Structures are given as structure tokens and as C-alpha cells.
Amino acid sequence: MARIQPTPGADGHEPAGATGPSGAGRRKAVRYAVPVAVAGVAAATIGIGSALATSGDPDLPKITAQELIAKVAASDVQRLSGSVRVTTDLGLPSLPSGISLGGAMGKAGGEGKGKADANPAGKLTELASGSHTLRVAADGPDKQRVSIVERAAEYSLVRNGDQVWAYDSGSNTAYHATAPKNAPGPKNAPGKGKGRELPDGLADASPQELAKKALAAAEGTTDVAVDGTAKVAGRDAYRLTLKPKQSESTVGTIRIAVDAKNGVPLKFTLTPKGGGKAAVDVAFTKVSFDRPSASTFSFTPPKGAKVTEGKPGGDGGHGKGRLPAAPGTDTASAPKTTGTGWATVAELDAGKGAGGGMGAGGKGVGPKGGAHGKHAKDAEKLLDSLGSKVTGSFGSGRIVSTRLVNVLLTDDGKVYAGAVTKEALLKAANSAR
Amino acid sequence: MSRAEPGAAAAPVAARPPRAAWRLSLFRNEITTVFRRWRTLALLGVLAAVPLLVGIAVKIETSDGGGSFGTGDGGEGPAFVSQITNNGLFLVFASLAATLPFFLPMAIGVIAGDSVAGEAGSGTLRYLLVAPAGRTRLLLAKFASTMVFCLAATLVVACSALLAGAVLFPLGDVTLISGTTVSFGEGLLRGVAVAGVVAASLIGVAALGLFVSTLTGSGIAAMATTVGLLITVQILDQFPQLHAIQPYLFPHYWLSFSDLLREPVYWDQIGRNLGLQGLYAAVFGSAAWARFTSKDVLA
């Protein structure tokens, strides 16, 4: 059978003389070099692209830490929209198979609802681990929107005036609540357009909220410094570093990138003292300070969607379901605290079912005990697998530790939690007795 | 090319139309070869049946309970399924989401894998090469016809889903997954865009299949290899431990078409998806070219 060989002139541009065996071999090699070159160029582009993205700190006039903090405080940006990347690695203990933390948290809230519920409290716990993309938009103090971008689905939280809607497209469920109209006010939330009374806690996941809280906690107990500049979401920013002075704190450093023009915090990174990856990293990947279109904030539940009504202002667990991002600084939900600044230890009386809510830093403990009894046994088992036993003059209990937060659950139903070392936690428990 | 050179140099204007027509005829020839095959028609038939099955299943599931699918039991079904009962248009998105992981790329793998190797296997490739078309042009025509099939397969799924959705479920204003409501017309427009993105998502598989097809003389081997590669890559894409390489796997951003249903549209992932497909097309397309233009055709 005769071979049909490539016709030399038909495809290549070699002269007719280069058709000897060596010429054919070389031509073959040259041809195969093309895909290799394409792949190489692509790899190089990707490499250079990511290298460019990380380097290239902008040249900005020098500024002191005080001036920068003042700038953040004076920042009066009411309108913004953009994408936020939230990466949390709190080092939560891995749970025995079949028990998801989210499920445990949902039950702890005493609501007993499963996944098919657009209640914001449950969604928060999802943010407590892994990487998520959030899209935020705000227009003034009473129009906000936060959506969690999911795979082929989206969870949106829309606030328009006194109407608060949450919509989960994955399960086609909605949640509705009414917020007190006068609640957020620019007094409480100067310039950042995120109402404190928003019964969601999701708004607190924005870099602005986190930065404000960290700065509020900073006074007196923290070394604050300006550490060069950075480029975040295409905008020039100063980098502010906060280091807790107190040795009990488990917080290593907090870095906040502040927009050089309007003082909006664009990136918030919290590194635990133990080192390693950042425990919390929240950053704008895209940001615009133009007015978002009005339709962004309008929501009507689609036909057939199951709507859950919430109590005005949000019920039980919501206010406490905040991201455990800046523990010890969250004055709104701390029931009883000892210690100051970063070394604050929160003390809760959790009754019998202390187990359920400790996951995300002890802040999600629901006040309703209803579901607790049922799950007490599960919780007991869970605790044995998670915590290490400790004893002290307070009695005995278990300590559950994460990279950032340590939680002490005493056998008589008290919970001590804080972003402090185990020793400090035991001391607080002992002195409370 | 060189064959036409003297004529082109002498009278470039006169030589152009026949050459263009010739080029098109090769392409047209390839298209008819692909679409006249029974196996192609059977593939398209199966693809058209998938939305129908999904639609009927959802209809039966919800007709007795009356509630929305997927909300009662607390679990979340496949993407978009819970919205189908309220708006038939979502059957288009649900069907595309259901067929994109395996059905559609498998069909593409069959067509692309068969394109060169199948001709070689049945002994017709040598006759194609005898024609003064040049191997590059033949390969381009094959790749183009495969891409036409990508589009056709996607449109078959989408249109069948739209028809089934319109018959089985109500249509009307569309609530996007961000909770924003848009008119049915805009929803339909977004559906067309979704179909376009889905079709473009298949370019990577098409290029891969074409390359595999140039490696072997057996059509079956090429199809099996392509589909096998597809499944392997899909499995690799599931392991969280491999997250470092996953952004470079061609199916990784496939579901990004759903970002077109957000308000405002979230372009990041779609852009990455299209870029990745372009990259695969460039790398494996040129690899196929390098292989095909330099190999000895024995059959």
C-alpha cells in the first residue's frame, strides 16, 4: 500500500529542496514546536499576570497611622458596588461524618429548619469556612444588597427601606422581615451604608465593617502602623497594620488596605498568632463607587417560592450570628465580658445544651432551648470528639480550640469564648468563680 | 496553496471567488458528511429527549403535591430544577446544566474523535487528501464542522427544552437567580446568550477530540479516548486536593453560564471559561495540525 505523505508545498512554506529525510524530520519538529510554544506563551502570560497582580505597589504620599484612621472614620461613601472575596480558615475542628457544622448551627438556633430555608442566620455559618464570592451594592443607608455567588445559584439579601428580603435561588425560598425604619441611620453607621440593625449579619462581612470594628477595638491595646501601599481591586490603597499588644490574644496581625482617595477599607486580613494562612481574608476584587441601578434593590418573591416571615428586626439568633471575625470586638452581642481589648473573654450561660453553638466562636448560641434537649446527646458525643478535657478551680470542662478562637465549655453549662490563648481562658474561668 | 499561486498572482481579483467558493465547498462537504450520518442524528435525538424527560419528571413530581419541586424535602436538586414549575424557561437552563457535564461533551467527543480517525479507518481519508485542498484546510474544515455540531447540539437541547417548558409549564416574567425580575423577552435573550456560552464551552473538548483523532487510524479508539479523557478530567475536577490545577481543566468553569442569569451579570468566570476554551483550542488545534500535516497516511 502506497503511503500518502504530506505534499511539501501544500501546507508548509519550505522550498522544494528541503524534502529530504532530515528536512522532513526538522519540519515535523518545527510543527510540533507550535503547540508547545502556544502552551508556553499561555503559561508565561498566566505567570506574569499573577506576578503583576501581586507586585507594583503604588507610589503614594506618606501618611501617619493617625491620619489614616481619621480618614477611615471620616469616609463618607454611601454608594458602592462590587465583588468581595471572603476566605476564612478558622481551623474549625473537623466534624464526624454526617454532621455538618451548618446543620448543627441551624439546630442550635432552635429553629429546626433544614437547608431549604432562606433564613440568613444559617447562611452565615457557610461563610465561616472556605472561600466565597460576595457581591455587594449599597445606595445610601437604607438600600443594600449582599449576594453570595454560588455554583449555579445565588443567595441574595436585599434591603430596601424597611423591607428586608432574602432569596435562595437554589431552593427557591425567600425570607422576609421588616426592619425598623429609623434603625440604621447615618449616626450608627457613618458613611458606610450598612445598617447595624440589619438583621442579617451578612453586611458585617464587608471589609468596611470589619475594619471599623478592628479600629474601634484598637485604642490603647494595639500597635497601629502604616505599612506601605498596595493595589486592591485596581485602586491605590494604604496598608494599615494592627498588632495586639496583649500577649493573651491569639490575633497575630490585622492588615487593612484603605483606599487612598476616599478612605474606604478595601481589604481586611487577619492572621492568627500561630502563623500560617490568614484566618480571615476579606477583599474587594472589584469595586465601583457609582450609584448602583435602582433595580438592584427591588425584590418581589417569584411565583411559587416559599416565603418565610421573620419577626420585625430579626429574631433570636440573627444578631448573634455574626462572623466570628473580630471576636472580642463585637460589643453588640457580647452578653458578659471580662478582660479588655483583644483579651476580652465572653461568658455565656448556655444551660444544658452547650454543645450546639460553639462552632463559630461561641457566638451562635441560641437563646431558645427548645431543640437543645433533643440534640444534647449528639452534642455530648460531638464534644468528646472535639474538645480536650481540662480542670481548674472552676470545675471541669472541655476546651475546643480553633486557630483563632478558643472556647471553654464547663460541665455546669457555662461557656467562655474569646480570641485568647487557652491559659487566658482558664484564668478567666477561674476568676469568674 | 502554491498550486493556485500563479493564477492568483496574475489575476488576484478573478482568482478570489472560485477559491473562496472552493474553500466553502470543502466545509459544506464536511458539514453534510457529519449531519447525514445516522449516528449524528441519533445523538441529536437523544439530546432532544433529555429536556423532555427532565420536564416530565418534574411535572409528575409536582402535580400531586402541588408545591414547588425541591422545597418540600429540604434537599436541593440539580441546578435550576426548583424554578422550573414556576417558569418553563428554566427548563432550558436546567437541561443545559444537566447535559453539559457529560451528554453534550460526549456527543462532541464522538463527532470530533471520528472526524479524522473515522475517515482513516474507513479508508476515505486518502481520497480526501488526493484532492488539491491541503491538509491544513481539510483540518480547518473538520474543526469548523465539529464546532457547528457543538452549536447545533446545544441548540437542539435548548429548543427542545423551550418547547417542552412552554407546553408543560407556565411562561412569564423571569426571576433571575439574584432575585431580580426581568421580562420574558429579556429572559429569552439571556437564554440565547446561555446557549452561546454553552456551545463555546465545548470548543475545548472539540479541539481535544480532533487532536486525538489525528493520532490514530481507528475511529472507535479516538472516540473512546476522547470520552475517557473527558470523564477523567471531570473526576479530577471533583477532588478538592487538586484545586491548584483545577482552574486549568477545561470543564472547570462550565457551569459559569449560569452567571449570565445574575443581575448584574457576573463576567469573571465566563471570561475565564471562554479564555480557557480558546487556550485549549489553540494548543490542541495546533497539535492536531502538527500531527496531521506531518504524518504518513497509510489508509
Query: What is the CATH number for A118?
Result: 2.50.20.10
Same structural domain, A97 and A35: no
Report pLDDT digits (tens) over A48-63: 877 766 666 788 888 8
- Helices B267-294 and B184-201, interaxial angle, to 10°? 30
Q: Is residue A406 pLDDT above 50, yes or no?
A: yes
**Contact flag A24-B76 (C-beta cutoff 8 Å):** no
Q: What is the pLDDT of residue B73?
A: 41
Q: Looking at this protein, which amino acid is placed at residue A349?
A: D
Quote the number of domains for chain A.
3
Per-residue pLDDT, averaged over A174-187, amounts to: 62
A254 domain residue, yes or no: yes
Contact map slice: A 72-111 vs B, CB within 8 A: 83
Pick the range with the lowest mean pLDDT from A297-301, A346-350, B166-170, B276-280: A346-350
Which of B134, B179, B266 has its CB closest to that of A299? B179
CA-to-CA distance for A108 and A359, rounded, in angstroms?
Answer: 10
A184 within 8 A of A178, measured Cβ to Cβ: no
Same structural domain, A281 and A374: no
CA-to-CA distance for A344 and A248, rounded, in angstroms?
Answer: 9
DSSP state of A116: S
Dump strand ranges (E) for A151-216: 153-160, 163-168, 173-178
The C-alpha cell of A426 is what? Answer: 482558664
Contacting residues of A for B136, CB less than 8 Å apart = 10-11
Same structural domain, A287 and A154: yes
Q: Name which of A133, A124, A89, A71 is nearest A265 in CA terms.
A: A71
**Contact flag B71-A173 (C-beta cutoff 8 Å):** yes
With bands split at pLDDT 50, 70 and 90, how would you rate the model's confidence at A189? very low
By three-state DSSP, how is residue A232 classified? strand
Q: Is A396 exposed, middle or buried (0-12, 13-18, 19+ CB in 10 A)?
A: exposed
CA-to-CA distance for A346 and A350, rounded, in angstroms?
Answer: 12
Report pLDDT digits (tens) over A109-156: 333 334 456 677 777 777 777 888 999 998 888 888 989 888 888 888
Q: What is the pLDDT of residue B148?
A: 95
Q: What is the pLDDT of residue B93?
A: 94
CA-to-CA distance for A186 and A243, rounded, in angstroms?
Answer: 29
A3 domain residue, yes or no: no
- C-alpha dist (Å) from residue A33 to A23, A46, A56, B228, B287: 15, 20, 33, 26, 9
Paired residues of A150 in beta bridges = A153
A87 vs B12, more confident: A87
- Which of A284, A309, A334 corresponds to the end of one domain? A309
A159 domain residue, yes or no: yes
User: Is the omega angle on the peptide bond into residue B264 within 30 degrees of 0, that is, cis?
Assistant: yes
Four-point Cα dihedral B257, B258, B260, B262, nearest 10? -160
Say if B180 is an interface residue toward chain A (CB within 8 Å). Answer: yes
- Residue B2: φ, ψ to 5°: -65, -25
A326 within 8 A of A206, measured Cβ to Cβ: no
A7 domain residue, yes or no: no
**Contact flag A152-B279 (C-beta cutoff 8 Å):** no
Q: What is the pLDDT of residue A294?
A: 83
Q: What is the pLDDT of residue A244?
A: 84
Determine the structural domain holding residue A397 and report its residue range: 320-432
Contact map slice: A 2-31 vs B, CB within 8 A: 3-7, 9-12, 24, 27-28, 31
Q: Name which of A267, A268, A266, A288 is nearest A139 in CA terms.
A: A288
CA-to-CA distance for B44 and B152, rounded, in angstroms?
Answer: 8
- Low pLDDT (below 50) residues in chain B: 1-16, 66-75
Per-residue pLDDT, averaged over A307-323, amounts to: 51
Which value does ipTM take for this structure?
Answer: 0.77
- Which of A8, A35, A54 corresponds to the end of one domain? A54
A177 vs A351, more confident: A177
Pick the range with the lowest mean pLDDT from A176-185, A244-253, A298-307, B35-44: A176-185
Q: At which residue does the C-alpha cell 489553540 appear?
A: B282
Q: What is the pLDDT of residue A4?
A: 65
**Contact flag B79-A152 (C-beta cutoff 8 Å):** yes
Quote the mean pLDDT of chain A. 71
Say if B268 is an interface residue toward chain A (CB within 8 Å). Answer: yes
A230 vs B279, more confident: B279
Same structural domain, A330 and A386: yes
The C-alpha cell of B6 is what? Answer: 500563479
Per-residue pLDDT, averaged over A309-318, amounts to: 51
A6 domain residue, yes or no: no
Q: Name which of A256, A265, A262 is nearest A194 in CA terms.
A: A265
With bands split at pLDDT 50, 70 and 90, how would you rate the model's confidence at A181? low
Q: Name which of B162, B182, B165 is nearest B174 in CA terms.
A: B182
Contacting residues of B for A115, CB less than 8 Å apart = 74-76
CA-to-CA distance for A132 and A155, rounded, in angstroms?
Answer: 11
Q: Name which of A272, A239, A228 is nearest A88 in CA terms.
A: A272
Q: What is the pLDDT of residue B77?
A: 61
Contacting residues of A for B83, CB less than 8 Å apart = 169, 172, 302, 304
Q: Is B21 exposed, middle or buried (0-12, 13-18, 19+ CB in 10 A)?
A: exposed
- Sequence-distant (6+) residues with CB within 8 A of B77 are B69, B70
With bands split at pLDDT 50, 70 and 90, how would you rate the model's confidence at A3? low
Q: What is the pLDDT of residue A323?
A: 37
Q: Is residue A300 pLDDT above 90, yes or no?
A: no
Same structural domain, A396 and A297: no
Same structural domain, A243 and A102: yes
Q: Is residue A382 pLDDT above 80, yes or no?
A: no
Torsion-angle region of residue B139: left (phi > 0), alpha (psi -120 to 50) or beta?
alpha
β-pair type (A173-178, A306-309): parallel
With bands split at pLDDT 50, 70 and 90, how would you rate the model's confidence at A358? very low
Helices (H) and strands (E) in chain A, counts: 9, 18
Say if B49 is an interface residue toward chain A (CB within 8 Å). Answer: no
Same structural domain, A46 and A116: no
Same structural domain, A354 and A221: no
With bands split at pLDDT 50, 70 and 90, how would you rate the model's confidence at A388? confident
Q: What is the pLDDT of residue A433?
A: 65
Question: Which is it for the CA torsion B238, B239, B242, B243, positive or negative?
Answer: positive
**Contact flag A116-B75 (C-beta cutoff 8 Å):** yes
CA-to-CA distance for B253 and B282, rounded, in angstroms?
Answer: 18
A193 domain residue, yes or no: yes
The C-alpha cell of A48 is what? Answer: 506574569
CA-to-CA distance for B236 and B250, rounded, in angstroms?
Answer: 11
Same structural domain, A381 and A419: yes
**Contact flag B284-A35 (C-beta cutoff 8 Å):** yes
By three-state DSSP, how is residue A57 classified? coil
A8 domain residue, yes or no: no
By three-state DSSP, how is residue B174 classified? strand
Q: What is the pLDDT of residue A357?
A: 39
Same structural domain, A282 and A341: no
Same structural domain, A299 and A335: no
Q: Is residue A260 pLDDT above 80, yes or no?
A: yes
CA-to-CA distance for A274 and A290, rounded, in angstroms?
Answer: 40
Which of B85, B130, B298 has its CB closest to that of A1? B298
β-pair type (A163-168, A153-160): antiparallel
Report pLDDT digits (tens) over A7-62: 554 444 444 444 445 677 787 888 888 889 988 998 888 888 777 666 667 888 88
- Helices B135-168 and B89-99, interaxial angle, to 10°? 140
Element (H, E) at A263: none
Measure CA B33 to chain center: 18
Q: What is the pLDDT of residue A326?
A: 37
Per-residue pLDDT, averaged over A79-95, amounts to: 80
Pick the range with the lowest mean pLDDT from A96-100, A206-210, B32-36: A96-100
A313 within 8 A of A199, measured Cβ to Cβ: yes
Half-sphere exposure (Cβ direction) of A248: Cα atoms closer than 13 Å: 22
Same structural domain, A108 and A235: yes
A12 domain residue, yes or no: no
Which of A27, A147, A153 has its CB closest to that of B79? A153
